[in-house]
Amino acid sequence: MSLLRLAGPYDLDWIVAMESDPAVAGWLGRTGRDWHEPALADSATEHLVTADRSAFAVIVRDGDSVEIRRVVVAPERQGAGLGRRVLDELLTRTYAAGAARVWLDVKEDNDRARALYDSCGFVTEQVVDAEEGGLVIMGHRAGERVIGVGVVLTGSDGRILLGRRIKQGEEPTWCLPGGAVEPGESFEAAAVRELAEETGISDATEPVVTAVLLDHPGGGVRVTAAVTMTAGTTEPRVTEPRVFADWRWFPADRLPEPLFPATAQILAPTAGGHPTAGGHSTAGGHSTAGGHPTAQILAPTAGRYPVAGR
């Protein structure tokens, strides 16, 4: 189901009101009806809004290039992952329509927005007027590929380890240990390494791949392996204080909110009612992960999962 719909003149009052909020206005350039009305009349420009009017975006098409000119989330909905969902859908829409490149600009000191764009695959291409505060030009191209792991570490009582993620520019979330698979690593080796790097734990049981999730954020390709282990006697500690504030154990049926998007997908129930991380995934199943993007769940086969060609 699409998150966004095309906006019309009847949406302008609340769009302008949202832009005028002090928490939003400082990050924008021109605002108001004088800016939006000509844009609505321009065939190359699209205004897109969420059904509940909690966010809107403006994109401009120029050949096979698309500019995301504006993404605004209502202040009361910020920090819940809505901005990421809007951005993912914008990228998916534009690439499906034949775009080769998507770009945007963002104020250099807007750390939260820049972290979001960076995590969605945008890269910095240019900094304009750096001496006057600066605008950062960031670009994104179709076909970005990410391979990663999420470590589902359980204690003897079945509780799951989650870290409170506080990375600069992101809203705080709860996150499994994990990260990108490095060249030459299997999923299992990456899971062991990431767990040790992020928590100091190196005495967990043998890693087992219980599911492989496939999704397409922003028109790219992301493959994430859920790797399960049972904890030994070492207690987790904060080794990367710029990323995690602390580590805690939670019952599987009482997980904290909000969850980091990839973590939510790994821990979400499948259509059959089984948790993805529990090893009961169904081939071709889909994880809805609440409000997070859908991921296809691929049932694992016996043996290791080397990352071919890396």
**CATH code at position 96:** 3.40.630.30
Please indicate, yes or no, whether residues 88 and 209 belong to a single structural domain of this protein.
no
Give the model's pLDDT for residue 269: 60
Please indicate, yes or no, whether residues 66 and 29 belong to a single structural domain of this protein.
yes
Tally the domains of the chain.
2
Domain end residue (candidates: 141, 168, 193)? 141
Q: Which residues form the domain of 154?
A: 145-298
Please indicate, yes or no, whether residues 27 and 90 belong to a single structural domain of this protein.
yes
Give the model's pLDDT for residue 238: 96
Domain end residue (candidates: 124, 141, 158)? 141
Domain end residue (candidates: 141, 158, 193)? 141
Please indicate, yes or no, whether residues 111 and 195 belong to a single structural domain of this protein.
no
Please indicate, yes or no, whether residues 91 and 217 belong to a single structural domain of this protein.
no
Q: Is the dihedral of CA 163, 248, 300, 286 positive or negative?
A: negative
Please indicate, yes or no, whether residues 180 and 263 belong to a single structural domain of this protein.
yes
pTM for the model: 0.56
Please indicate, yes or no, whether residues 88 and 120 belong to a single structural domain of this protein.
yes
Give the model's pLDDT for residue 107: 85
Please indicate, yes or no, whether residues 167 and 227 belong to a single structural domain of this protein.
yes
Residue 276 lies in a domain: yes
Question: C-alpha distances in angstroms, 307 versus 62, 133, 137, 187?
Answer: 38, 43, 33, 7
- Alpha-carbon distance 238 to 243, whole Å? 9
What is the block-wise mean pLDDT of the chain (310 residues), using blocks of 10 residues?
85 85 74 84 90 90 90 83 87 85 87 82 80 78 80 95 85 91 91 96 96 76 91 96 94 92 80 42 41 53 37
Please indicate, yes or no, whether residues 285 and 149 belong to a single structural domain of this protein.
yes
Please indicate, yes or no, whether residues 286 and 149 belong to a single structural domain of this protein.
yes
Please indicate, yes or no, whether residues 190 and 274 belong to a single structural domain of this protein.
yes
Give the model's pLDDT for residue 288: 44
Give the model's pLDDT for residue 132: 57
Residue 253 lies in a domain: yes
Q: What is the pLDDT of residues 2-49, one digit of tens each?
A: 889 998 888 888 888 888 777 776 777 777 788 888 888 888 999 999
**CATH code at position 255:** 3.90.79.10
Please indicate, yes or no, whether residues 114 and 240 belong to a single structural domain of this protein.
no
